[in-house]
Amino acid sequence: MILRRIAKGIKEQDWFVVIIEVMIVVVGIFIGLQVDDWNEGRKNNAEDKVYLEQLRSDIVVSIEAGSTYKERHTKFHKSISEFVKNRGVELASNDDGTALAIFMRYALYDLNTLAFRRKAWQELINAGRYNSFADAALRTKIDRVIQMQDAMVNRSLNISVYTRDIIDPWLTENFDIWRIAMLSLDDPDAPVVKQDMVKPPEMRAILTDLTFWNMLAYRYMFTRDDLDEFELLEQEYKELLIEIDKQLAP
């Protein structure tokens, strides 16, 4: 109908009618686009709120997992510190060497891996929505947390490689010395360790093994640095939660 009136106006050279009709078309298209944008914006806002709730849940889960991780690594770090400080006294009071065997396995092998839950972030990336999600300030905080998490994962991979390439071969080479501790720790039904099965001279020789001390120092420095990095990550978690709660507020 409008196109017919425009065509008639042009044919009759009634330019006023043509201009009016064209303006009506343009305004109609503009209003339609604005309505579409408004509907899309409202839809995105609703989706953003769902993602914010999921993101908050992911962070809370990561904090809870990190609490266990931090507690275990702090204990590990303290244990090495006390051993280095008191090794002479400990050895003198444990002639059978079993305490040293147990410590050796614990200090060189027994570390847990920190896990993060990033379900909401990954869904935003997969849906192509991340760059339009929430506001730039919040995304900057999320990016910071993701970068710090990735850095900690890479550090864990490095210690895993070090364990595989350096520590595992050494422990295998000295297996007959520390195997008693492994059995007593892992198998509650294992036979009671007999005195003649432990080798005190070999256990004491470990304390003069430079490889042992290098490995111990590496794990000690890794744990110390990891705890420092984790404290920074915890602070980022707190700041991100505060920002999420602001955006979720009615």
DSSP labels, 44-101: HHHHHHHHHHHHHHHHHHHHHHHHHHHHHHHHHHHHHHHHHHHHHHHHHH-TT-HHHH
For residue 38, being part of any structural domain is answered with: no
Q: Please give the pLDDT value at position 145.
A: 95
pLDDT digits (tens, 9 = 90+) for 29-61: 655 555 455 445 555 567 888 899 999 999 999
CB 73 within 8 A of CB 142: no
pLDDT reported for residue 190: 45
Instruction: Indicate whether 30 belongs to any domain.
Output: no
pLDDT mean across residues, the chain? 74
pLDDT of 70 reads 86
Query: Residue 37: which H helix or E strand, with range?
Result: helix 15-93
Asked whether the predicted pLDDT for residue 215 surpasses 80, the reply is yes
Question: Residue 97, by phi and psi: left (phi above 0), alpha (psi -120 to 50) or beta?
Answer: left
Range 192-199 average pLDDT: 46
pLDDT tens column, 103-140 = 776 677 666 677 889 999 999 999 888 988 888 889 99
Task: Over range 150-161, report the average pLDDT.
Answer: 87
* % pLDDT > 90, the chain: 21
- Classify 69 in phi/psi space as left (phi over 0), alpha (psi -120 to 50) or beta: alpha
Contact 216, 245 (CB under 8 A): no
- Which of 37-41, 163-167, 198-202, 241-245 has maximum average pLDDT? 241-245
What integer is the mean pLDDT of 188-197? 46
Given this model, what pLDDT does residue 112 score? 66
DSSP secondary structure code for residue 135 in this structure: -
Domain-embedded: residue 1:
no
Q: State the Cα–Cα distance between residues 172 and 204, nearest whole angstrom.
A: 18
Q: Do the domain assignments include residue 124? A: yes
Q: Does residue 43 sit within a domain? A: no
Residue 31 lies in a domain: no
- pLDDT confidence tier of residue 7, bands split at 50, 70 and 90: low
Expressed as residue numbers, the domain containing 237 is 65-248
Lowest mean pLDDT among 89-98, 101-110, 215-224: 89-98
Tell whether pTM > 0.75: no
In a domain, 3, yes or no: no
What pLDDT score was predicted for residue 58? 94
Please give the angle made by the CA atoms of 45, 49 and 50, to the nearest 5 degrees.
120
Q: What is the pLDDT of residue 111?
A: 65
**Total number of domains in the chain:** 1
| CA neighbor of 229 nearest in space, from 118, 176, 150, 169 | 150
Label residues 161-181 b or e (16+ Cβ within 10 Å = b): eebeeebeebbeebeebbebb
Pairwise CA distance, residues 124 & 54, whole Å: 11
Q: Are 240 and 141 in contact (CB under 8 A)?
A: yes
CA dihedral sign of residues 155, 160, 166, 170: positive
